[in-house]
Amino acid sequence: MTQRTYHVLSSALAISLALAACAPAVAPTAAPVAQPTQAQPTQAPATVAPTAAPTATAEPTADPKADWPEKFIVGMFGGDDAEKVLRDNEPLRVLLEANLGIPVEIQTGTSYSAVIEAMRAGRVDAMEVGPFSYTLAVQEADAEALVVGVNTSKDPAVYIPGAPTHYLSMVITKKGSGIRTYEDLKGVDFAFVDPASTSGHLAPKTLLIKNGLNPDADMKAIFAGSHPTAVLAVWEGKVAAGATYEGNLYNLAKEGQIDFCGFPDGEQAKLRTQAEIDEVYDACPDGSIVVIAISDPIPNTPFAVRQSLPQSFKDAVRDTLLTIKDDADLVAQLKFWYEDPHEALGLENLDAYYNYLRDIAKLLNLDLKAMK
């Protein structure tokens, strides 16, 4: 090729390239079609990666409360004044609501049975009923005890470390009646409180049976209707002996309604030996109410929930209730706190604490469903 020919060809190529660069109709239309077709495979991984990253981190950020109830409803026995029950427990409701982070509502029932039925039907998530009623709720409403309530009569109310989570029933007489032993109770008039009362009937009746008496045959039993009335029947000489819970005796003495020979240390729910009982009896003057026998410990009322609730939720409720004793203002308002004594007592779980009541039910052949 000659130099001239080379220059001609070079000039022609340069002109062609210049014309192509100046052609607006062809180049822009071709570029968008050609570039995406070749770039698509290289862009696909970039599109997948952002969607894959959230999947890898989703599990650690899952809400641990996702399976919790939207509202926590607690059932309580309303007694003679349901509005007072709600007022007295308002600080408890507020505490639970603040700690759990969900609405908390307290509802009252006209009887223990009504509260148990509400739990069985799923209308309440938790309950506080009597200890005997709790054992029925376990079999009828899938109840599970979380903690045990501890009341105090101190004014102002203060937390007492190591305070008992049980109470006691006392068999009493009036000093000078000639009654001192179980054998002495045969043939006498005896005042129980109410057929369904644990400390005023079921526990002391069990105590008498275990010590060789048949209250239905060996004694002339009556039901006084209330704990104060049962004690006053003994005090006024209407019956020779009776039964009540320990705190009732101290309350009536404090109010000046009876003279009572209590234990020198003044402690309640403390287990006593027969020697201690005899010592107080001997020192008691004639005419005063005196104790001749004491029942086995009766577990206090538990705070129970539906067993089917999420474990994390049950743990949160339990932990919240156990904090009450650490708040002096809250204890002063509520006049109670909660404990879990099962480990200290060497029990497998808290429910086992109530086996004593189940033994009573078997011994007395009780129909728990008939108890109100």
Q: In this predicted structure, what is the pLDDT of residue 307?
A: 97
> What pLDDT digit, counting tens, does each position of 103-124 carry?
999 999 998 889 999 999 999 9
Percent of the chain whose pLDDT exceeds 90? 74
Q: Which of 301, 287, 286, 292 is nearest to 272 (CA)?
A: 292
Q: How far apart are CA 105 and CA 69, in angstroms?
A: 12
Q: Is the pLDDT of residue 293 over 50?
A: yes
Tell me the whole-structure pTM to 2 decimals.
0.76
Q: How far apart are CA 330 and CA 159, in angstroms?
A: 10
Q: Is the pLDDT of residue 6 over 60?
A: no
Q: In this predicted structure, what is the pLDDT of residue 367?
A: 82
Instruction: Please give the residue that has the higher pLDDT: either 243 or 61.
Output: 243
- Confidence bin at 134 (pLDDT 50/70/90): very high
The domain made up of 166-298 has a fold known as: D-Maltodextrin-Binding Protein; domain 2 (3.40.190)
Q: In this predicted structure, what is the pLDDT of residue 59?
A: 56
Instruction: Please give the residue that has the higher pLDDT: either 247 or 33.
Output: 247
- Confidence bin at 196 (pLDDT 50/70/90): confident
Q: How far apart are CA 67 and CA 70, in angstroms?
A: 9
Q: How far apart are CA 364 and CA 366, in angstroms?
A: 5
> What pLDDT digit, counting tens, does each position of 33-64 carry?
334 344 444 444 444 444 445 555 555 667 88
Average of per-residue pLDDT across 246-274: 94
**Highest-confidence range of 60-69, 191-200, 237-246, by mean pLDDT?**
237-246
Name the burial class of residue 57, with classes exposed (0-12), middle (13-18) and buried (19+) by CB atoms within 10 angstroms of its CB: exposed
Average of per-residue pLDDT across 184-206: 94
Q: Is the pLDDT of residue 173 over 70?
A: yes
Q: Is the pLDDT of residue 26 over 50?
A: no
Q: In this predicted structure, what is the pLDDT of residue 371?
A: 66
Listed range (38-52, 316-330, 351-365) with the worst mean pLDDT? 38-52
Q: Across all residues in the chain, what is the average pLDDT?
A: 86
> What pLDDT digit, counting tens, does each position of 142-164 carry?
999 999 999 987 888 999 999 99
Q: Is the pLDDT of residue 23 over 70?
A: no
Q: In this predicted structure, what is the pLDDT of residue 327?
A: 97
Q: How far apart are CA 155 and CA 324, in angstroms?
A: 17
CATH homologous superfamily of 72-161+300-370: Periplasmic binding protein-like II (3.40.190.10)
Average of per-residue pLDDT across 165-183: 97
Q: In this predicted structure, what is the pLDDT of residue 63?
A: 84
Name the burial class of residue 12, with classes exposed (0-12), middle (13-18) and buried (19+) by CB atoms within 10 angstroms of its CB: exposed
- Where exactly are the structural domains of the chain? 72-161+300-370, 166-298
